[in-house]
């Protein structure tokens, strides 16, 4: 679904990969994609749950140089989000 939305928005999909929920592996792959593959945009998606064991949202924060807030960004799709699709990660 994410690939379809990005493609529809005009992005070219050059790489997809499913990784285990292991922070070091995710960090390593993100660095490789950004540095060696010279990609302009790397999109990550996570699991269906938000639990203390879910490190997917944390791994990019270690790798990035600057975080761009997503508030006010136009959605890539006109379809409304499912009612329970917005969750806050507990600290």
Best CA proximity match to 89, nearest among 56, 51, 53 = 51
> 75: pLDDT confidence band, cut at 50, 70 and 90?
low
Alpha carbon 17 to its chain centroid, in Å, reads: 12
Helix count and strand count (H, E) for the chain: 3, 0
Domain assignment present for 44: yes
Quote the number of domains for the chain: 1
Res 77: pLDDT: 54
Place of tokens 């270690």: 62
Q: Are 35 and 42 in contact (CB under 8 A)?
A: no
Instruction: Check: pTM over 0.95? Answer yes or no.
Output: no
34: its two tokens: 């950004």
pLDDT, one tens digit per residue, over 2-48 is 888 888 888 888 888 889 888 899 999 998 888 888 777 788 877 66
CATH number at residue 28: 3.40.980.10
More confident residue, 70 or 10: 10
The label of the residue with tokens 């006010």 reads 72
């Amino acid at each position: 679904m994410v690939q379809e939305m990005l493609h529809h928005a005009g992005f070219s999909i050059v790489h997809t990969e499913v990784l285990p929920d292991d922070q070091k592996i995710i960090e390593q792959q993100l660095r490789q994609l950004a540095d060696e593959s010279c990609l302009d945009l790397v999109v990550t998606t996570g699991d269906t749950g938000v639990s203390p064991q879910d490190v997917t949202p944390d791994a990019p924060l270690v790798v990035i140089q600057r975080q761009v807030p997503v508030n006010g960004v136009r959605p890539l799709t006109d379809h409304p989000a499912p009612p329970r699709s917005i969750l806050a990660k507990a600290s």
